[in-house]
């Protein structure tokens, strides 16, 4: 028990260090070492990482699938914009409502998951997402329809107005808070229950695991984190429209955890960087192919196939092979 506590504590400390490193990005931009556009790019990676961690918790630890991530992200984004812009309420209120309303829907989906699973559950969650997306198009008073909805940078506690740089720091804060929260959950009783449920529901029930409770908790957390991602998206990007929150977005979030690493939080962030930042940083620089519509989707598909074949646990574990290779090279030199 003491050893497990120490492991959890060390992991939490590593997340705090990781957050401190991320917070230095604005400094590098101010010094002219990095381009200003990198702030928006990395900020977007952090936002999508939050949603992907929720899906990783659902798929990786509890074995449940969802294709509705984009819909809940969009719902969180529109709630945040409506509360802060139309109702003129503080950011904190928009955050609470942006989490609470999707959470209720997530619990309802969790109830549905007791009756269906696998492919049928994926289709059911996709249907919920499509209903939400269609609502974004039709409810003009709430979303401004196809014209899109604008927002402003957050104002904390009613008087601390943030700008692009300080909002980025806010993104880092929420990402690290989510990583620490999920790390503590998966290394505790809930993690053991979800793992048992993922392995065999019959065996989990025989061990006394309450399937209803943990399915509801898993879906509630996944949808809440997706909604939180949407709130952060609206706070940082400050604009959205219905076409953003489509099946393609949900599939990209799914690609994040497959490419980066299922059941690994750092892998989730790595996967978000590969899926959402690599196209702008590298792929678009490739002559001819970089300007080809859908080229990023092709690369993502190829990456998923390669990862499944050679690194089924995700690219985050590629470092283990480099360590082994380095060890072999050192052994040969020693001879």
Residue 250 parent element (H or E): helix 247-260
Q: Report the percentage of the chain scoring pLDDT > 70.
A: 96
Residue 54 CA: distances (Å) to CA of 59, 111, 114: 9, 18, 19
Q: What is the DSSP letter of 282?
A: T
Domain count, the chain: 1
pLDDT tens-digit map of 123-144 = 999 999 999 999 999 999 999 9
Give exposure, 68-106, as e/b (b: 16+ Cβ within 10 Å).
bbbbbbbbbbbbbbbbbbeeeebbeebbebbbebbbebb
Spatial separation of the C-alpha atoms in residues 97 and 36, rounded to whole Å? 32
Q: What is the pTM of this model?
A: 0.93
Spatial separation of the C-alpha atoms in residues 335 and 333, rounded to whole Å? 5
How, if at all, do strands 155-156 and 160-161 pair? Answer: antiparallel
- CATH number of the domain residue 227 falls in: 1.10.3470
Rg (CA), the chain: 21
Exposed (0-12), middle (13-18) or buried (19+): which is 163, by Cβ within 10 Å?
Answer: exposed
pLDDT tens-digit map of 31-52 = 888 889 899 999 999 999 999 9
Residue 155 parent element (H or E): strand 155-156
**Residue 330: pLDDT band by 50, 70, 90 thresholds?**
confident
User: If you average pLDDT over residues 245-251, what whole number do you get?
Assistant: 95
What range does the domain containing 131 cover?
Answer: 2-334
**Residue 261: pLDDT band by 50, 70, 90 thresholds?**
very high
Question: Degrees (nearest 5) of the Cα angle 266, 12, 262?
Answer: 30
């Amino acid at each position: 028990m003491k050893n497990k506590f120490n492991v959890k504590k060390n992991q939490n400390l590593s997340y705090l260090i990781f957050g401190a490193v991320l917070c230095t990005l604005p400094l590098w931009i101010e010094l002219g070492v990095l381009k200003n556009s990198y702030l928006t790019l990395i900020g977007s990676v952090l936002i999508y990482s939050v949603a992907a961690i929720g899906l990783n918790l659902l798929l990786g630890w509890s074995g449940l699938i969802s294709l509705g991530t984009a819909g809940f992200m969009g719902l969180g984004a529109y709630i945040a914009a409506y509360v802060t812009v139309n109702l003129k309420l503080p950011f904190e209120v928009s955050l609470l409502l942006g989490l609470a309303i999707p959470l209720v829907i997530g619990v309802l989906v969790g109830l549905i998951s007791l009756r269906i699973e696998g492919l049928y559950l994926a289709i059911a969650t996709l249907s919920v997402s499509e209903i939400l997306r269609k609502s974004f198009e039709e409810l003009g008073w709430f979303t401004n329809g196809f014209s899109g909805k604008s927002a402003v940078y957050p104002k904390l506690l009613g008087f601390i107005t943030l700008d692009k740089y300080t909002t980025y720091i806010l993104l880092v804060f929420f990402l690290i808070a989510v990583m620490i929260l999920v790390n503590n959950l998966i290394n505790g009783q809930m993690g053991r229950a979800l793992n048992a449920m993922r392995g065999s529901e019959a065996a989990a029930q025989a061990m006394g695991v309450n399937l209803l409770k943990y399915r509801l908790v898993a879906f509630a957390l996944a949808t809440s984190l997706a909604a939180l991602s949407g709130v952060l998206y609206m706070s940082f990007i400050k604009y959205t429209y219905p076409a953003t929150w489509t099946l393609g977005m949900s599939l990209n979030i799914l690609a994040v955890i497959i490419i980066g690493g299922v059941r690994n939080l750092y892998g989730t962030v790595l996967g978000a960087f590969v899926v959402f930042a690599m196209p702008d940083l590298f792929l678009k620089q490739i002559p001819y192919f970089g300007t080809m519509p859908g080229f990023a989707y092709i690369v993502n598909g190829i990456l998923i196939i390669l990862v499944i074949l050679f690194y089924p646990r995700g690219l985050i574990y590629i470092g283990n092979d480099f360590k082994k290779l380095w060890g072999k090279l050192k052994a040969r030199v020693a001879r």
